[in-house]
Structures are given as structure tokens and as C-alpha cells.
Structure 1
């Protein structure tokens, strides 16, 4: 029998504050910052390797750093499970994150994760193509490292065109990921209804609450930016809080 689509509530901007406060409470009760530092150090190493590789991939530094937000919902899966257990009055600790591997909807979760990975790679391809069509045509400043690249970006028409089109395309990718996943990953942990049903519910949630969801996306972007300074270390707190808060946003939007 086909399951009925979950009912989606209309929420106000105030619900975002409720989700963030509950997310912070979950983080304080079950700290996971050390675990996230262990995840972030390889990411920081990848960024450092990109910078060390020189001019050939230097232009992908910003797209790569910004694009990690596209796969953030995958990293937050264990946090959703912690919040789900705490909400149900069940014990939870940092090891609870591994319980996701026992989820009945694990195949659907993996399929959705692969979709996000494909979108991340698509974003990097698009960023590289935009660079090739704009700043990549210039010969001046090549071989000068990051400083020369920054000068080209801000002081040449080609650089400004790259900024414009790169940010527009990046915004499109971010908007797509937000619409596809704002409630779909938490929903798959909560109830196994398949990828299509989870994505459909997420799209309906965004369509019914366009302003709150737009503000949520902006808040996520600003908090990720703040957590990235300096050296991405603040993300060890920002990412867990946002992960927990996303679970609570799902619970506020989707009727169980």
C-alpha cells in the first residue's frame, strides 16, 4: 500500500529561533565538537593541499570551501539521530551518531547522499567552467599565486564577471540543495518512505513556507561563514548546532 504524503505545516520566522534554541540545547547536552574536529582536520588538509597545488587549481579554493555546505546534510545525519532520541526521552551520547548505520531507510539515505555528492561535483565543474570562460582567458598574473589571482578577480572585467556568474550559479546550487534536503534527511531517519517521498515532502515544505525557508538558508550561510573564521575551527560548534536545529525544524514543519 502506498503511504500517504505527510502533512506539512505553515510556520513563521519565529519557528527558526525555536529550532535554533532547541538545537543549542541538544548540543550542550550532548557535545560533539571533538568528533567534528576530527572530521574537519582532513577537510582543512584538503583545502591546504588545494592551495599548495598552485595556479592550476587555485581558482577552485573558494568554490570548494563554499561547496562543502552542499554536502553538510550528510555530515549532520548522526546529529539528527541524537536529537530524535533526546526528543523521545531516550539516552543519547556522541556514539549515537553511529546508530544511523542501523536505520531501516539506510539505502534511501545513501541514495540521497550520492545525489548531494553529484551536486557538489557538478558545482565544482560549473565553477571551473565559469573560470575558464572568464578569468581563465587572461595570461597576466599567472604564476603569481593567490595574491595575483585576487588582483585579477577584483581589478579586471573578467574577474568581476567570474564573481557575478559564479555567485549566481552557486546560489542556484545552494537553493536546490536547500529545497531537496531541508526536511528529507531527518524524515528518512524518522520514517522510511523512500527517497521520492522525502524529497517531495521537502519541496512542499519550501513551497508552503518560502520566506521562513529563505531566511533559514541565509542564517545557515551566515553561521557557516562565521564558523569558518578563522581556519574553520568554529565549524566544530556551528555544524552540530545547525544539525540539531535542522531536526527540530523538520519536527516543526512536518506532521508526524
Structure 2
């Protein structure tokens, strides 16, 4: 059969047809093929240690630190530059840094896929990190990402309000003066205590709803609702272990911000790979 070039109308029709199929596939993925969440397993502290060791091995194997250096650190640098040139944003320096805890599950999506493939394939490259953006995955992953971004924005708004209640509403005179006000005034201490309390609540919420959600969406054809319910079941069945993991993540992220957030290039990939193995230990495959 002779192939013809066609015309713009036929191109548009084909494009719309393809886009319609992709949207339909993504919508089906939001519902998934599984209607009941699985029975989750019991996690122990030893499981966390094993997950961290496996995460470190994947970190060395895939050199995912380089990937984060290329993709993530420039974004961090831009944010810090904007803050440095806008004094009014100085109070948001720590909340933005702490916000990586809330957005970490999004940043680690590619790492989950690399670890998933690495379990059965010795030749896994960085291209695997982008392969999650396919029809059966992209719908629920993007929706979950939007939820986490919304929680992050609520945290930033809360942090701004806490600053206004205590040391605001005027912006700090300088970074040095801002640090001095925090360390030597009652209002500064109150801001720190209130901010850490509210931040811990946001972090606990994100940990409970996302611990195994994104890895499960990548690994199994389940809908977003089933994946979130499963993550909540893991947290409810293993409150001490999950809380311990949250403390490990928080402490690691705090160390990763030093110096100048450079440590995150190592911390984020290791924690991302380790989260995959926590999912594998807690959630059976359907």
C-alpha cells in the first residue's frame, strides 16, 4: 500500500485519537484493577536496617547521586539564590529546607523504578527513572504528586503565619539579626517550638499516606485510593517502626542540608532506594 503524507486535519485527528487513548489509560490507572487493599506485613527495626543497606548498595550501583546532582541540586541553588536576594524570604529558609521531607516521595519516584528493575536486571541505567512516566502509571503518580505539592504549600503558608505571629510581620533586617532574634528572644523560641510541632504534623501525615503509595503504584496495577489505603494500613499496623523510619528520615535530611544542602545529593538517593525495600518488606505483590 502506498503511504501518503496526509494533511493537517488528518494529523490533528490522529493526535487527538492518541491523546484520547492516553487519557483513557491514565484514567483507568487511577481506578486500577485491584478493588481490595492487600493484607500488609509486620515491619521490624531490622527491616529498616536491611532497607538502608540495600538502599546504599543501589546508591553505589546506580550512581544516583550524580542524577540528583544534575537534576535536583540546580533547583535547590535557584531557590537559595532567590532567598539570598530577597530579605523578606529569609524566614522561609528553614521551612523550604524542611519541605524536602514533604516532597521527597515525588523526587524519589525514579529511584523506586531503578530499584524495582534492579531486583531482576543487572543492567539498569538512568533511563529507567524516566520510564515510570507511562500510561499505566502517570495518572495516579501525577495526582499523588499534586496532593503532596498541596500539602507542601499549606506547610509554607503555615510557616509564614507562625513567623508573623511571633517575629513579624516586618521582614528581618539581616540573616545575622534573624538568627539572633531566634536564639535570644522568647518570641523566637516560641516560633521554633510552634514551627517544629506543626511541621512534625505535616511530616507525619505525608509519611502515613505516601510511605508505600508511590512504590506500589509503580509495581502493581492498583488505583490511587487502594495504594493510599495500603500505606495507611502499613502505618497503623507498624506505628513504632514507621515512626522510627520517620525519625531516621528527618535526622538524615537535617544532616543532608549541611553544608549548603550538598549532603542531600547523597541522603535523598539512599533514602529513596531504601523506601522501595521497605515497601517490598511490607506489601505483598498481588
TM-score normalised to the size of structure 2?
0.84
Aligned equivalents of 1:189, 1:134: Cα separation in 2 = 43
Tell me, yes or no, if structure 1 residue 19 matches structure 2 residue 48.
Answer: no
Instruction: Kindly indicate whether the alpha-carbon contact (under 8 Å) linking 1:105 and 1:191 is maintained by their aligned counterparts in 2.
Output: no
**1:2 to partner: Cα distance:** 5.3
Aligned equivalents of 2:34, 2:140: Cα separation in 1 = 16
Runs (4 or more) in structure 1 with deviation over 3 Å come to none
**1:103 to partner: Cα distance:** 5.4
Tell me the secondary structure at the aligned position of residue 107 of structure 1: helix
Instruction: Kindly indicate whether the alpha-carbon contact (under 8 Å) linking 2:56 and 2:273 is maintained by their aligned counterparts in 1.
Output: yes
Q: Give structure 1 stretches of 5+ with no counterpart.
A: none
Aligned equivalents of 1:2, 1:174: Cα separation in 2 = 28
**1:72 to partner: Cα distance:** 0.7
Tell me, yes or no, if structure 1 residue 169 matches structure 2 residue 169.
Answer: no
| Greater Cα shift, 181-190 or 216-225 | 216-225
Aligned equivalents of 2:216, 2:148: Cα separation in 1 = 16
1:79 to 77, 89, 111: 111
Structure 1 or 2, whichever has the larger Rg, is: 2
**1:106 to partner: Cα distance:** 1.3
1:146 to 143, 155, 175: 175
Partner residue of 2:26?
none
Tell me the secondary structure at the aligned position of residue 169 of structure 1: helix
1:179 to 202, 208, 212: 208
Instruction: Kindly indicate whether the alpha-carbon contact (under 8 Å) linking 1:109 and 1:188 is maintained by their aligned counterparts in 2.
Output: yes
Instruction: Kindly indicate whether the alpha-carbon contact (under 8 Å) linking 2:34 and 2:221 is maintained by their aligned counterparts in 1.
Output: no
Partner residue of 2:77?
44
Aligned equivalents of 1:255, 1:75: Cα separation in 2 = 24
Instruction: Kindly indicate whether the alpha-carbon contact (under 8 Å) linking 1:23 and 1:245 is maintained by their aligned counterparts in 2.
Output: yes
Q: Give structure 2 stretches of 5+ with no counterpart.
A: 1-32
Partner residue of 1:132?
164
Superposed, 1:59-208 pairs within 5 Å as: 59-89=91-121, 91-102=123-134, 104-136=136-168, 144-208=173-237
1:231 to 227, 237, 260: 260
| Greater Cα shift, 147-156 or 205-214 | 147-156
2:243 to 214, 218, 222: 214
Change over 3 Å in CA distance of 1:132–1:21 after alignment to 2: same
Deviations 1:133-169 (A, max 9, x none): 11115x6xx6530111111112122111111111100
